[in-house]
Amino acid sequence: QEEKGRGEQFMSRFARVYSPAVLALGVLVALVGGLATDDWSKWLERAATVLVAAAPCALVIAIPISYVAAIGNASRKGILIKGGIYLEELAQMRVLAVDKTGTITQGKPAVVTVEALNGHSDDQLLSIAAAVEQRSEHPLAHAVLAHAHGAGLAIPTATEFQALTGAGAVATVDGREVMVVSPSFA
């Protein structure tokens, strides 16, 4: 379900009060003027003028229509926006940083899945990788550690840690040299 933006929410609340108020004003103009002057046609015309001039239709529909148009246009260009509230947040942005694929993320890397090869279990692989990453300051290292801690894994001690600039890290874990590196380094 689409989430309404603050502007849409405001206009919905506004219309709930404004529409009955305009109708009451129109009736009041017709009744007071008609009763005071006994010229009902003149005051009914003025009441109709008040109703037409103050009709909230254009105000109430303007924001949702513009949001639907903007979201539809973005969608045709491959950009998915969940609703008006997110469109409003986009309008407040001053800077947008994306990775080389153009993906917009939260800026908090996270391990989504672990797939071990060569007979190791996923938990073994994650535990050993976390051991290497314990001393790294790289954001991806923090994601590996957070995932290992979240899984409740025991993380062995790594020695001889060395950061490989732009590539990953290497350390000795349980007497074996272990490298946690980017695919381009391997």
Structural domains of the chain in order of their starting residue, each with its CATH number: 6-92 (no CATH), 122-181 (3.40.1110.10)
- Residue tagged 């009441």 (tokens): 47
Token pair belonging to 182:
């980017």
Residue 165 CB contacts under 8 Å (≥ 6 apart), including other chains: none
Token pair belonging to 111:
């391990």
Per-residue pLDDT of the chain (186 residues; tens, 9 = 90+): 356 777 778 877 888 888 889 899 999 999 999 999 999 999 999 999 988 888 777 777 777 888 888 888 888 887 888 888 888 888 888 887 677 777 666 667 889 889 888 888 999 999 999 999 998 988 899 999 999 999 999 999 999 999 998 888 999 999 999 999 988 876
- In whole angstroms, what is the distance from residue 49 CA to residue 40 CA? 14
Q: Report pLDDT for 1.
A: 38
Residue 110 CB contacts under 8 Å (≥ 6 apart), including other chains: 143, 146, 147
**Residues belonging to the active site:** 99
Using the 8-state DSSP alphabet, how is residue 121 labeled?
Answer: -
Q: What are phi and psi of 178, to 5 degrees?
A: -125, 130
Element (H, E) at 90: helix 84-92
Q: Report pLDDT for 110.
A: 87
CB of 125 closer than 8 Å to CB of 114: yes
Element (H, E) at 125: helix 122-133
Q: Report pLDDT for 134.
A: 93
Interval 46-85: pLDDT, tens: 999 988 888 777 777 777 888 888 888 888 887 888 888 8
Q: Report pLDDT for 25.
A: 93
